[in-house]
Amino acid sequence: MKDTTIPGVSFHSFGEGKMGPLIRAHDWSKTSLGPMKDWPNSLKTHVNMMLALPSAAIIFWGEDQVQIYNDAYSVIMGPRHPRHLGSTFQECWPEAYPIIDHWMKRVTINGEVVIVDRSLIPLTRHGFNEECYFTFTFSPLRNEEGKIEGLLQLVTEVTDTILSERRLDMLRKLSPSTDLESCSTTNLLDVLASNPRDIRFAQFFLHNGAPSPLQLAEGFGIGNQINKAPGYSEFMMLARDTYASGVPREIKNIQNLIPHAPIEPWDEPTTQAIVLPIRSNDLASSKGVVVFGISPRLKFDKNYYSFLLDAARELAIGMEADEQINRSMKTRKAYDFVNAIIENVPHMIFIKDAKELKFTRINRAGEELLGLTRDELCGKSDYDFFSKEEADFFTEKDRTTLASHKILDIPEEKIQTRLKGTRILHTKKVTLYDENGQPEFLMGISEDITEKKQFEEDHKKLSQEKIARAEAEKALILRDEFISIAAHELNTPLTALKMQIYLIRNFMVEMESERTQKFLEMMRNSEEKLNQFAKLVENLLEVSRARAGKLIIEKTEIDLCEIIHRVCKNCEHELLKAKCRLELHLETSVKGYWDPVRIEQVLTNLLSNAMKYGSGKSIEIVCKREINRAIIMVKDHGIGIAKEDQDRIFNRFERAVSMRAFGGFGLGLYITKQIVNAHGGEIRVESELGRGSTFIVELPLKS
């Protein structure tokens, strides 16, 4: 330790550094402190102590806070040193004064010791407003009288610590191993945007797959209309250049290329940017490039540059991780998708191993169809469940499929199931190969077509029946047409023949020889047969009219009782011949709107049948009127009709007696029913075999 003597002031040489001589040489008379020789001892002591301190220290003395600092502090002063030795605090630090002044007042007024930790104190040390952080203490300095005359500030600059801490924090957040939900570019950008003091903006240029060119992608802080900016093509070119060469590029004039508003917390424009490839050491090619906006408040030094390189590397790792997650999610999704299809398909899907043809998988529909669970089935072969014959069949088809390299289509195969009995399946079988092209599995898809087959067969049967019915119907129509034509053709000569017989008979009646009489008798018989034949022809004509819907009904007001009287009169001769006594039970008059000719036809038919099937017995005819209808009953006491025949005798050509016993063609009742129905009425029979029959006709009075 050596004593250095300046007139009136003695400084210890120990630790006074470069600032000791400077302080001594300084002209203090121009300051409020006055020449050094007049300084109070207390100040001299404080200065001595301050110069000896290893950390940055400064003394502010007097009302206007004139500053005296040590070597370490001269670094903090930057270009202000040594100009501002002896300046007032306010002159020297106009940018820091508003931040610090209130703390200084607490020291000078209250005598407090103020400790400020890691505070941002922007300083202009290198020609720009720099982002600096300090930890400092202010302590009061007293004069000889014990009055606070000044203060001592001990300062530690923590800018480097703070920068490296926050940069590390950001890099950690970018890393895919942290709690980042996903490493999508959006999430990565959010992390970058959370550190706007280092990353003023970020802009990605990515490519979607190798062959596609680099594309402008997401970004923040540089506006969202980059592609419309004047320097966009140059910007793009720089990006593509870095992508192609892998060499980072600095952009000095980014504000000219892509004008953009500054983002918080700084309001200076960002002028400098760097284009970096997004690439990690493990990656063969880069994912694209990122352009980082460099802070105007920080020196773009080695640390800053390597931090940005690290960030670009982390981005590459994050993006790769994200792609991997997406890829595995896609695979997982594809697997789930296929699985869902297999499980929900309504057809049986089974898989067997190609070597032993043992089941390795079966879906839900398969379990239901076979009545076997997958646990029961897997690891077993067809021979464990099906008859030898069935298992042989299935195995033979499996082997053919495995040998053929084609899909085998088995349109129908029968299978005995546990719960559903015999089922018919339509099965397709296909070989699944391993990576070496060797058959690994056999997959079968079987549709249960049992019901479909049944339906097809029923449908076929039904169609055949339909065709047969249609053909029968056609034959009937043809027959009806034939009958109609034949009847017409027969009617004309028949009428002429009857007339000729009538004339001949009249002529021959005059001749009385026995031979003539015999001949006349023969003629009468023939005439009767001819009449029957004419009746048949007439009936056939009526039937064909009825079937063709051409039965003409001409209604007029008539009295049924009158018609009954007329019919009975017409039949007098036949009644006599049949030896039938007729009883009429008629109301005085039963009037209604009916076709008189047709109603007469109905009554004639019923009365003729009563005489034919009840000859020798009495016949009763009843006619009465009920609320809205007229009732006619024709009752005989003849052979009667069996129950089972009572409906069908109203159909065409239906008879309940033999031809030999009773002549006839089974058409009379059919025509009768058609006429009654055409009037809106009904006809039925009440009868018992051997006990006579009653035919009941009901006619609406007006229809």
Task: Give me the residues that bind ligand ADP (CB under 6 A), please.
Answer: 609-610, 613, 636, 638-641, 649, 655-657, 664-670, 693
Say if residue 265 is preceded by a cis peptide, omega within 30 of 0: yes
Q: Give the CA radius of gyration of the chain.
A: 63
**Looking only at Cα atoms, what is the longest distance across the chain?**
206
Residue 645 CB, shortest distance to ligand ADP, in Å, is: 7
Residue 689 CB, shortest distance to ligand ADP, in Å, is: 9
Task: Record the tokens describing residue 116, joined without a space.
Answer: 């400020």
Residue 458 CB, shortest distance to ligand ADP, in Å, is: 37
Sort 556 into a burial class: Cβ within 10 Å, 0-12 / 13-18 / 19+: exposed
Nearest residue to the partner ligand ADP, using Cβ? 664
Residue 698 CB, shortest distance to ligand ADP, in Å, is: 18
Q: Which is nearer to ligand ADP, 315 or 610 (CB)?
A: 610
Residue 473 CB, shortest distance to ligand ADP, in Å, is: 22
Q: Which of 86, 181, 306 is nearest to 173 (CA)?
A: 181
Q: Which is nearer to ligand ADP, 88 or 674 (CB)?
A: 674
Q: Which is nearer to ligand ADP, 402 or 649 (CB)?
A: 649
Residue 550 CB, shortest distance to ligand ADP, in Å, is: 20
Residue 702 CB, shortest distance to ligand ADP, in Å, is: 28
Residue 563 CB, shortest distance to ligand ADP, in Å, is: 19
Q: Which is nearer to ligand ADP, 183 or 610 (CB)?
A: 610
Sort 144 into a burial class: Cβ within 10 Å, 0-12 / 13-18 / 19+: exposed
Beta strands 619-626 and 582-586 are parallel
Angle between helices 302-344 and 159-174 (to 10 degrees): 20
Q: Which is nearer to ligand ADP, 3 or 644 (CB)?
A: 644
Three-state secondary structure of 315-357:
HHHHHHHHHHHHHHHHHHHHHHHHHHHHHHCCCEEEEEECCCC
Sort 305 into a burial class: Cβ within 10 Å, 0-12 / 13-18 / 19+: middle
Q: Which is nearer to ligand ADP, 67 or 672 (CB)?
A: 672
Task: Record the tokens describing residue 137, joined without a space.
Answer: 């203490």
Specify the DSSP element, H or E, that contains 305: helix 302-344
Q: Which is nearer to ligand ADP, 326 or 651 (CB)?
A: 651
What single string gives the DSSP state of each residue in 403-470? HHTS-EEEEEEEEEETTTEEEEEEEEEEEEE-TTS-EEEEEEEEEE-HHHHHHHHHHHHHHHHHHHHH
Sort 410 into a burial class: Cβ within 10 Å, 0-12 / 13-18 / 19+: middle
Q: Which is nearer to ligand ADP, 441 or 665 (CB)?
A: 665
| Cα end-to-end span (Å), the chain | 150
Residue 633 CB, shortest distance to ligand ADP, in Å, is: 12
Q: Which is nearer to ligand ADP, 529 or 702 (CB)?
A: 529
Residue 474 CB, shortest distance to ligand ADP, in Å, is: 25
Q: Which is nearer to ligand ADP, 162 or 685 (CB)?
A: 685
**Count of helices and strands (H, E) across the chain:** 19, 26
* Cα-to-chain-centroid distance, residue 242: 45
Helices in 150-193 by DSSP H: which ranges?
159-174, 185-193
Beta strands 288-294 and 273-278 are antiparallel
Residue 622 CB, shortest distance to ligand ADP, in Å, is: 15
Q: Which is nearer to ligand ADP, 8 or 690 (CB)?
A: 690
**Cβ partners under 8 Å of residue 107, min gap 6:** 113, 114, 138, 139, 140, 148, 151
Plot region of 146 (φ>0 → left; ψ -120 to 50 → alpha; else → beta) = left
Residue 667 CB, shortest distance to ligand ADP, in Å, is: 6
Q: Which is nearer to ligand ADP, 202 or 606 (CB)?
A: 606
Q: Which is nearer to ligand ADP, 220 or 670 (CB)?
A: 670
Three-state secondary structure of 98-112:
HHHHHHHHHHHHHCC
Residue 533 CB, shortest distance to ligand ADP, in Å, is: 13
Looking at residue 629, its amino acid is: R
Task: Record the tokens describing residue 507, joined without a space.
Answer: 């002529």
